[in-house]
Amino acid sequence: MDKIPILRMGNFLLVTIQVDLYDRLALNLEADLVQMVSKTNARGVLIDISAVSIVDSFMGRIIGNIASMSKIMDAETVVVGMQPAVAITLIELGLPLKGVHTALNVERGMDLLKSMIGSTEEESEEEEEDDDSVAE
């Protein structure tokens, strides 16, 4: 059985979809990802679809599901690398992928994840700094 690898990088999970997805594979990915978010306490999920040439309504729904499921597990999802032809097709199909964060490439996706998740971490750091200054 084919499986899509999920890589862990610090607080984030990285998924690069390199094969043509059929339904079972996409459903497995959905389940695996949510499991991994729970197991690794990941705060962000980055899905790279730059090698995916077709996203139909089912795949779109799975992407939306992953984002909502991660969200209630306290992790943000960013989808990166969508091909222009796929974006055009998705909109004409009538699937605007509402509620899913997207970024043009992996680099910007990582920045977006860091800014979404970092904001809460920075606040705690700032508090620590304040404590330091009081101590001085």
Partner 1 sequence: MILSLSKDNIQVVREQDVVLLRNRVKEVAVKIKMGLVNQTKLITAASELLRNMLRYANGGSCLIEVVSKGRENGVRLTFTDKGPGIADLALAMKDGYSTGRSLGLGLPGAKRLVNEFDLKSKVGEGTTVMILKWANG
- Nearer Cβ to partner 1 (27/106): 27
- Nearer Cβ to partner 1 (10/22): 22
> Least distance (Å) from partner 1 to the CB of residue 51?
14
Contact between 93 and partner 1 by CB under 8 A: the answer reads yes
Q: How many residues bind partner 1 (CB under 8 A)?
A: 22
Question: How is residue 132 written in tokens?
Answer: 């330091």
> Least distance (Å) from partner 1 to the CB of residue 61?
6
Question: How is residue 131 written in tokens?
Answer: 């404590």
The correct pick among 8, 10, 41, 58 for binding partner 1 (CB under 8 A) is: 58
Q: List interacting residues with partner 1 (CB under 8 A).
A: 20, 22-24, 53-58, 60-61, 83-86, 88-89, 92-95
